[in-house]
């Protein structure tokens, strides 16, 4: 237990250092290009595109190499932590710092704690693996943002989409595992989202592109939720069960849950702070794994995502007539879909299907500018979501 408390202090320190140490990644970009001729700028861009392609592959291979070394802990073999630390610092840290400074501090702290023996090697491996998956998830989203910035430059846009697909490949195994565990079809939905993006570029349909990115983004978020707080295969449930028979292995599963949760925690924190704090407390390595309450965690997720959905619908109503109204209408429907199995369990399949139909009808009404119909659908959606929140208390 002392080891876990020591590591928790490392993490806390990491959060403070991250806040102090984040840099403006783009501060030096641009001034150099102002000094170049158009021809030199074009040549430099072509050269950078090739370098970026190579860097993408290097990031992924370096991640896999570090993961393979840390995997030795699960097999009872000695782990060369210094080799992983060097690999991380030299190859992965630049990408991690660009995405989120606190992740860098958390991964670095975990690796150092593994090296010193203050943290179990299997726990270290899970923190490294799952937090790096968050980095690749954020990088997929970053590539989507790059597409929006470069819209109209078809060559550049297609390159960014391909890079997003490369980073998604790292996450695909996690999606496949949840598809198998919950009988979902998230891999197909994500593949469909990428296909829709490519069609949108071909048709010069920016709105359709953004909607497709939302499908991919929120389906990945659903993956992380199913891995953490969903019943019956989330890590909250797994760790709580395992705590009765093998507390040490349960601690590993608790770490997996905590690290996966980091990919979706901000959404819930922004709209349901108390629910987010409850989830964080249960998964925190400072918390005794035997005290994890899977039902409380699950209900906090249900309340949290329901509140996020309500916020999206509120924004959709406020932005009526703008593309943002359609985008947030889809987001609201996708957040409802994240907890589809929970709503079905609590309210019944018919009630969930009715809610889903209202969400789809609202989206179609927004697209076709039928405000009166949209408001009727929205009233039903809000009533149902508020009832779900109440029942999940």
Summarize pLDDT for 295-334 with one digit per residue, the tens. Answer: 999 999 999 999 999 999 999 999 999 999 999 999 999 9
With b for 16 or more beta-carbon neighbours within 10 A and e for fewer, the 156-168 pattern comes to bbbbbbebbbbbb
- Is the pTM for the entire model greater than 0.75? yes
| Domain ranges (residues) in the chain | 1-16+54-139, 266-393
pLDDT of residue 124: 97
Q: What is the pLDDT of residue 46?
A: 44
Out of 13-27, 73-87, 182-196, least confident range = 13-27
- Check whether 372 has a pLDDT greater than 50: yes
Going by pLDDT thresholds of 50, 70 and 90, the confidence category of residue 106 is very high
Please enumerate in sequence order all residues whose Cβ is within 8 A of that of 106, keeping only pairs 6 or more positions apart, or say none: 11, 14, 15, 127, 131, 262
Q: Work out the average pLDDT over 133-147.
A: 98
Q: Are 240 and 283 in contact (CB under 8 A)?
A: no
Are 315 and 330 within 8 A, CB to CB?
Answer: no
CB atoms within 10 A of CB 365: 19
Residues 6+ apart with CB under 8 A from 115: 81, 82, 85
The predicted pLDDT at position 52 comes to 54
Task: Report DSSP state, residue 78.
Answer: P
Q: What are the tokens at 192?
A: 């469909």
d(CA 226, CA 218): 12
Q: Give the whole-angstrom CA distance, residue 89 versus residue 241.
A: 37
pLDDT score, position 57: 60
Q: Please say if the pLDDT value at position 137 is more than 90.
A: yes
Taking residues 19-31, report their average pLDDT.
37
Q: Is the dihedral of CA 66, 67, 72, 74 positive or negative?
A: positive
pLDDT tens for residues 232-252?
Answer: 999 999 999 999 999 999 999
CA distance 89 to 66: 11
Quick one: pLDDT at residue 40?
42
């Amino acid at each position: 237990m002392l080891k876990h408390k020591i590591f928790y202090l490392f993490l806390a320190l990491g959060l403070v250092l991250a806040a102090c140490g984040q840099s403006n990644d783009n501060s030096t970009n641009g001034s150099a290009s102002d000094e170049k001729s158009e021809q030199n700028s074009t040549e430099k861009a072509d050269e950078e595109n090739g370098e970026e392609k190579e860097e993408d592959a290097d990031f992924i291979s370096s991640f896999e190499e570090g993961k393979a070394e840390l995997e030795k802990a699960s097999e009872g073999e000695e782990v060369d932590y210094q080799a992983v630390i060097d690999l991380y610092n030299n190859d992965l840290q630049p990408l991690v710092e660009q995405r989120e400074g606190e992740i860098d501090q958390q991964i670095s702290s975990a690796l150092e704690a593994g090296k010193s023996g203050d943290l179990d090697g299997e726990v270290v491996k899970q923190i490294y693996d799952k937090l790096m998956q968050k980095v690749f998830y954020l990088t997929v989203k970053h590539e989507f943002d790059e597409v929006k910035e470069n819209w109209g430059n078809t060559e550049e846009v297609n390159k960014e989409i391909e890079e997003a697909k490369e980073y998604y490949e790292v996450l695909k195994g996690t999606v496949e595992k949840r598809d198998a565990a919950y009988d979902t079809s998230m891999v197909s939905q994500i593949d469909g989202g990428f296909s829709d993006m490519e069609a949108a570029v071909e048709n010069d349909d920016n709105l359709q592109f953004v909607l497709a990115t939302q499908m991919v983004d929120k389906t990945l978020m659903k993956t992380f939720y199913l891995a953490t707080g969903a019943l019956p295969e989330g890590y909250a449930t797994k760790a709580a069960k395992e705590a009765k028979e093998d507390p040490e292995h349960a601690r590993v599963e608790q770490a997996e849950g905590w690290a996966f949760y980091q990919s979706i925690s901000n959404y819930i924190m922004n709209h349901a702070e108390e629910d987010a704090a409850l989830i964080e407390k249960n998964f925190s390595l400072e918390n005794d794994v035997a005290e994890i309450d899977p039902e409380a965690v699950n209900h906090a997720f249900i309340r949290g995502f329901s509140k996020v959905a309500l916020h999206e619908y509120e924004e959709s109503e406020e932005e009526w007539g703008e593309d943002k109204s359609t985008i947030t209408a889809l987001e609201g429907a996708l957040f409802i879909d994240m907890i589809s199995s929970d709503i079905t369990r609590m309210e019944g399949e018919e009630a969930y299907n009715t809610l889903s139909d209202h969400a789809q009808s609202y989206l179609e009404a927004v697209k076709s500018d039928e405000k009166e119909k949209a408001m009727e659908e929205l009233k039903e959606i809000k009533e149902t979501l508020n009832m779900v929140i109440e029942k999940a208390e």
